[in-house]
Amino acid sequence: MPASGEHDRRATHGPPAAADFDALYDARYGDVVAMVYALVGDLAEAQDLAQESFCRAWQRWSDVSRYDDPLAWIRRVAANLATSRWRRRRVASAHLGRERAADVPPLDPDHVALVAALRRLPADQRRAVVLHHLIDLPVADVAREMDAAVGTVKSWLHRGRATLAAELAQSTEEVTYRD
């Protein structure tokens, strides 16, 4: 504790106080959200953009805190972020409009059953089965990619195929009995 008449040097000569940032954030976060909401029309997105603006201010707080109006800098960043998101969405939307398939075929029930059965396998077995049987990688390449011994991969493949066969046979029986 400083002696009588001395100042605590950290308060005046250290890095800008986090308390100043905290006070600005507490007092003005809602105002920045409201401004961005008016720009983007989505509350969740406005909150994200306001948060991002304050995060960027915090990263540069030693400089931003010296500005005449740090909140103006934060609002400007928020507006720029909103504009950037709007542009990216517009470009993505235009691209999706051009790239969408006109006709999407219905899902094949066998495909749906296979995906459901794969989801029930343990992760290592599922990954081994997919890499070997769907991607057509040799067992040695699957082992290398999964950082496992070849024998371990063969075991996963054997167990995975057995479980899939039982699952798919059961789902076929269920469909047969329903019809």
| Rounded-to-integer distance, Cα 127 and Cα 135, Å | 10
Higher pLDDT among residues 15 and 73, named by residue = 73
- Cβ atoms < 10 Å from Cβ of 33: 19
Q: Which of 39-43, 85-89, 103-107 has the lowest mean pLDDT?
A: 103-107
In the three-class reduction of DSSP (H, G, I as helix; E, B as strand; rest coil), residue 97 is classed as helix
- Which secondary-structure segment (H or E) carries 52? helix 43-59
pLDDT at 101: 64
Cα 64 to the chain's mean position, in Å? Answer: 29
- Cβ atoms < 10 Å from Cβ of 78: 25
pLDDT at 27: 95
Alpha-carbon distance values, 166 to 40, 59, 138, 141, 178 (Å): 51, 56, 24, 27, 19
pTM equals 0.47
Cα 175 to the chain's mean position, in Å? Answer: 37
| Segment 40-57 mean pLDDT | 94
Given a cut of 70, is residue 42 above it in pLDDT? yes
What is the chain's Cα-based Rg?
29
Which tens digit of pLDDT belongs to each residue from 114-171? 888 888 888 899 889 988 988 888 999 999 989 999 999 999 999 999 999 998 888 6
Which tens digit of pLDDT belongs to each residue from 61-97? 999 999 999 999 999 999 999 999 888 888 888 877 7
Higher pLDDT among residues 143 and 9, named by residue = 143
pLDDT at 145: 87
| Rounded-to-integer distance, Cα 39 and Cα 82, Å | 7
Report yes or no: 146 and 135 within 8 Å, Cβ to Cβ: no
In the three-class reduction of DSSP (H, G, I as helix; E, B as strand; rest coil), residue 101 is classed as coil
- Confidence band for 10, pLDDT divided at 50, 70 and 90: very low
